[in-house]
Structure 1
Amino acid sequence: MTTTSGPGARQPSIGQGRHGSDASDAVEPHFTVFDIVTDLRRDIAALSFPLDIEGADEARAKQARLVGQLDDHLLPRLKELSAPAVVVIAGSTGAGKSTLLNSLLREEISPASVIRPTTREPVVVYNPQDAGIVVGTPLVTSVRAVVNTNVPRGIALLDAPDLDSVLDENRRTAQRLLEGADLWLFVTTAARYGDALPWRTLTGAVERGATVAMVLNRAPSASLKTVRGDLLNRLREHHMDSTPLFVVPDAGPHEGLLPAASVAPIERWLRTLGGADRARTVILRTLRGSLAALPPWVEELAAHVDAQHLTSQRMLAAAQAALPPVAATINRSIESGALTVGAVESRWSHLVRPARLDKAITRSGIARGSARRGRSREALLADLAEAVRNAATAALASAIDDARQALRSALETVPGGSELSAVHEGPANTDALVTAEVDAWVDSVRARTAAIDEAASKQDAAAVRAFGRGGLTALLLAGAVGHEAAEALFVRLTGNAGRELVPVVTADLADRAAILVSREIEPVVAALGVPALADDAAVGPNVRLAELAQLT
């Protein structure tokens, strides 16, 4: 692609290049306006605004409108410049658009009546000699098409629904057709020309570079001078000084077509647009205006994309900051012994006498008891292990609930974060995840007590015989969650090795809790990690902007 400028620099042509047969005028067939607009359409259609932040709805609507204009007007125009120039007859409810169209063509083509809305189905009318070019175009396939010999060759007249129709679909259709037109023939009346909606629509047309002509319909003779002067002033105020203004006198109560003399000036003006060369001039003028209007539109959409990215970063930062305090809280709870309050302490108090834990160790520090006594203690202490398991499960589940609440609160501090927090439920199967993590922790403790070597020392052998490996596991579990008596007994039974083992098991549970808490951010990360929120999400539109700059 050539980006140089000045004498001799290669410039893109309006031809089709690699996409069509009209590339003979292109200096570089691979770099044409059609190519640029085709790529622009692809990149704009690919944009997404997943976060419901301020301006997102507006961005989505503008994206849809821009894609629609490119599809309905610019791309078909660039692809086939010989197609007729589309003249849309537009206006507010009751302005007389359909009557005007019928009168220009001297035939009842579009229904006209006092029932609103009248134009429910858009109608396009073109000269039968243009049929070979028009048939199959997006315009004809989307509306009712009629041929009429009174339409000048090289133009097509389109009767659009009312801009202020009571039907939403009609309003949307009217807006789409207007944005796809080469020229607007805007119809208003003495009673309606001051309405705000038409002027907003006309201002948008001028900003997009559309060619506009205005018809003051049903003009009363008594106030014609005043109304016409006021209308001209409004046109000047809206930078539409060169807009042709046609006046159609008030015909009074009547049915059918207007007198031919009333619409003769408009008919003559339309015929000046007819013919391949003259129509092509209108088309090219509108095309240049439409192309010049694209950059601000694209820039605005790119800005919305950047706003989505920046907001996603704020959301992610808020979510990441919310979880460490939750992890710290569950860590303190585990290390402080809070998990032993309640069921664990109760179970211990009920086991002390039946398991004869007070007489479990001799004065010499060796565990007392036979293998039979060991099996009995092991069975009794299984309930203690289960109480610890339940306490750990409840604590980790509570930590997850706290993490989710913290995430929701943090996200809601960011504009647009409420919608994201409302759908945040964390990883699926939370109960199963917690149970699996606690089971893995308990299994790791069993593995540690299974590693006690009875042949290593008399003390270890006596401990295994007097409590069984299941009993030692229960004591280690209870000691690890902060039960002092259980920890003291385990350390007396296993010596220094046991003393070093208890904090390791405690830390293991705390680490597992921290991992579960940290996983709660995964749905947020996934939601914010989509390409539409990446830092380079607007690169496509920005590249197209640079290419559009070569056209000006």
Structure 2
Amino acid sequence: MSRHSLVRESSQLQLRLEALNTARELAEGVLPDEELQSVYDVLERAASRRSLSAGHTVVGFFGATGSGKSSLFNAVSGSELATAAARRPTTSEPLAGIWGEDGSGPLLDWLDVKERHVLPPVSGFADADSGLVLLDLPDFDSTRVENREIVQRMVGMVDVLVWVMDPQKYADAAVHNDFLRPMASHGAVTLVVLNQIDTLNAPDAAAVLGSLEGILERDGLGMVRVLGASALTGDGVPAVRGAIRNVVAQRAATTQRLAADVAKAATGLSEVSGQGEARGIKGNARSRLASELATAANVPVVVEAVQRSFQRESARRTGWPVTRWLLRFRPDPLRRLNLGRSDTRPELSRTSLPPAGAPERARTDAAVREFADEASFGAPGPWRAAIRGAARDGRDQLPDALDQAIAGADLKTAKRPLWWPLFNTLQWLALLLAVGGLGWLGVLAALGYFQMPVPEVPRTEGWPWPTLMVAGGVALGVLLAITGRILGGWAARIRAAGAAKRLKAAVAAVAEQRIVEPVDVEITRLTAFNAALKAARPH
């Protein structure tokens, strides 16, 4: 593989690692911690491996007891290291055969391989500085827990996996179910060798190889190369060497291995998460939520109080002065709700609206649940639960937030219509006219009572002016009062409509802050998670 291709693949791997990490971060609190931890482990291993020697390719030999794995290791490496290793304590440790010692130390330290041997060149396979590391590993079916743990750890760390099988146990469920099938995404860095092929005749060998290939295809490893070999006779060993040599020569095994790890981790996240996008927040759903919350928060009660309060104040300002004082004994509907006051700070005040009862709470819960259900429709199960959870968390804060929003809403109670002063002035002039007429009549009556000369009063159409003044003043006052009541009712409805609009806007702002925005954050998080997961997978 050309240097340019290697750089391109490395750059693509970096982007996929970053995307996988983004997906992991976005999924925190939504997907199970153990799955996220496994993704984190993949990212940590990738970061560690990429920081170590890129000039070395680590090839691990894995096999069951009796598969001839160590013998094949010796045959391929042209050494007798594994034979010597058989005399080690039974708590076997990995053994490394190295071609190209420079730079291999930190890599083998990371792999925790203590027994290391620099091997001489093998013609047509490995030069002194080829950067190849062969690992002979314990049997994966060992009864010793330590051995199995070493194998499981190495499966996740070596660059190339060589699975050595024998004709008797090549279909063993343990290797296929526990190792090969979970590594189906690692076909590019996996090689399967059927050892001890010398124990079979040619037709049987072909049949066993065909059977093994079929099993591997069912494992998801249909593209993996399967070779027959005999460590005893040397038959097929050159082909195994050639396959390993080709991988090393391409210098892409490390990147391919890590890319396969990323693909596997992304697939795991996808399987746990599920597929799909949330429907999202639509305008009509947002409007329905605000409307339901406004009703549950007693906005209609406040709107009615605004209308009645304005009508009361209008009557006080424009009514007949003789009777308007009686309105002082009628409580202001807004004041009873602790609203419309100018002597308190709205952001600190609270209303005297009745606390939400069971019907109001049920209505609020239903509105929030319906909104969350509609917004999360189509989302995978865990994310739908997260979206609903965000809505539920906001719902718990709604009663106090809605009450404060209503208390802080500007109901325009301080605004006075321009016609109030005019009507008030006319009312007092009418009262003065009536009182003046009564005074005139009183003077005339007093003069007559004391038998004093009573002057002639002016008349119009036969009606004395004092009588006309009293009648005209009273009639004008009543007419102004009736007209003021009609105008006040019309203006009160306009004022109430304006208050309703502002109150609903205040409630909508609370709904946006407490419900809509948290839900939208979770929906956006899901969209970003899906995008990151897509970027982490192979293109």
What band does the TM-score fall into relative to the shorter chain? 0.5 to 0.7
Tell me how far 1:436 sits from its aligned partner: 1.4
Contact 2:71-2:83 at 8 Å conserved across structures: no
SS at match of 1:312: coil
Tell me how far 1:37 sits from its aligned partner: 3.9
Question: Matches of residues 98-177 of structure 1 in structure 2 within 5 Å?
Answer: 104-108=82-86, 111-112=89-90, 123-127=94-98, 130-137=100-107, 139-148=108-117, 154-159=132-137, 162=140, 174=152, 177=155
Partner of 1:246: 230
Contact 1:185-1:213 at 8 Å conserved across structures: yes
Partner of 1:457: 423
Tell me how far 1:106 sits from its aligned partner: 0.8
Counterpart Cα distance in 1 of 2:355 and 2:426: 28
Tell me how far 1:433 sits from its aligned partner: 1.5
- Identify if the C-alpha distance between structure 1 residues 187 and 174 changes in structure 2 by more than 3 Å, giving closer, same or farther: farther
Question: Matches of residues 394-413 of structure 1 in structure 2 within 5 Å?
Answer: 400-410=364-374, 413=377
Partner of 2:323: 368
Tell me the TM-score normalized by structure 2: 0.57
Partner of 2:190: 210
- Identify if the C-alpha distance between structure 1 residues 412 and 539 changes in structure 2 by more than 3 Å, giving closer, same or farther: closer
SS at match of 1:402: helix
Counterpart Cα distance in 2 of 1:72 and 1:501: 70
54, 61, 64: which one aligns with 1:80: 54
Counterpart Cα distance in 2 of 1:164 and 1:208: 27
Contact 1:491-1:499 at 8 Å conserved across structures: no
Tell me how far 1:457 sits from its aligned partner: 3.2
Superposed CA RMSD in Å reads: 6.1
189, 195, 198: which one aligns with 2:175: 198
SS at match of 1:186: strand
**Residue identity matched to 1:436:** Q
Alignment of 1:447 onto 2:441: no
Partner of 2:290: 327
Q: Which has the higher contact order (CA 8 A, sep 6+)?
A: 2
SS at match of 1:311: coil
Contact 2:160-2:253 at 8 Å conserved across structures: no
Alignment of 1:235 onto 2:212: yes
Contact 1:326-1:403 at 8 Å conserved across structures: yes
- Identify if the C-alpha distance between structure 1 residues 265 and 100 changes in structure 2 by more than 3 Å, giving closer, same or farther: closer
Tell me how far 1:90 sits from its aligned partner: 1.5
SS at match of 2:400: helix
Tell me how far 1:524 sits from its aligned partner: 1.0
Counterpart Cα distance in 2 of 1:411 and 1:172: 48
Tell me how far 1:40 sits from its aligned partner: 4.3
**Residue identity matched to 1:233:** G
Tell me how far 1:32 sits from its aligned partner: 5.0
Tell me how far 1:514 sits from its aligned partner: 3.5
SS at match of 1:211: strand
Counterpart Cα distance in 1 of 2:363 and 2:484: 28
Tell me how far 1:390 sits from its aligned partner: 0.8
Tell me the TM-score normalized by structure 1: 0.56
Question: Matches of residues 522-533 of structure 1 in structure 2 within 5 Å?
Answer: 522-530=517-525, 533=528
Deviates further, 99-108 or 525-534:
99-108
Question: Matches of residues 408-419 of structure 1 in structure 2 within 5 Å?
Answer: 408-410=372-374, 413-414=377-378, 415-416=380-381, 417-419=384-386
Structure 1, unmatched stretches of 5+, are 1-10, 17-30, 113-117, 248-261, 349-356, 463-487, 546-552
Deviations 1:82-114 (A, max 9, x none): x3x4331223578686899897241357653xx
494, 497, 519: which one aligns with 1:500: 494
**Residue identity matched to 2:407:** D
- Identify if the C-alpha distance between structure 1 residues 308 and 384 changes in structure 2 by more than 3 Å, giving closer, same or farther: closer
Tell me how far 1:34 sits from its aligned partner: 4.0
Deviations 1:156-186 (A, max 9, x none): 3241673799979966962763663335142
Deviations 1:427-479 (A, max 9, x none): 474343112112113x5354346x788644318999xxxxxxxxxxxxxxxxx
SS at match of 1:148: strand
**Residue identity matched to 1:438:** I
Contact 2:166-2:195 at 8 Å conserved across structures: yes
Counterpart Cα distance in 1 of 2:2 and 2:295: 68
- Identify if the C-alpha distance between structure 1 residues 330 and 338 changes in structure 2 by more than 3 Å, giving closer, same or farther: farther
Deviations 1:99-133 (A, max 9, x none): 99897241357653xxxxx66xx624235x84433
Alignment of 1:517 onto 2:491: no
Tell me how far 1:42 sits from its aligned partner: 3.8
Counterpart Cα distance in 2 of 1:499 and 1:193: 87
Tell me how far 1:210 sits from its aligned partner: 2.8
Alignment of 1:311 onto 2:259: no
Contact 1:90-1:186 at 8 Å conserved across structures: yes
**Residue identity matched to 2:193:** A
**Residue identity matched to 2:117:** N
Tell me how far 1:234 sits from its aligned partner: 2.3
Deviates further, 523-532 or 361-370:
361-370
**Residue identity matched to 2:54:** E
SS at match of 2:252: helix
- Identify if the C-alpha distance between structure 1 residues 288 and 431 changes in structure 2 by more than 3 Å, giving closer, same or farther: same
Contact 1:216-1:246 at 8 Å conserved across structures: yes
Partner of 1:253: none
Aligned residues: 436
Counterpart Cα distance in 2 of 1:143 and 1:396: 65
267, 280, 283: which one aligns with 2:248: 283
Counterpart Cα distance in 1 of 2:175 and 2:139: 13
Tell me how far 1:13 sits from its aligned partner: 1.7
Partner of 2:158: 180
Deviates further, 526-535 or 393-402:
393-402
Counterpart Cα distance in 2 of 1:456 and 1:398: 49
Contact 1:365-1:492 at 8 Å conserved across structures: no
Structure 2, unmatched stretches of 5+, are 74-79, 122-127, 217-221, 340-349, 429-481
**Residue identity matched to 2:503:** L
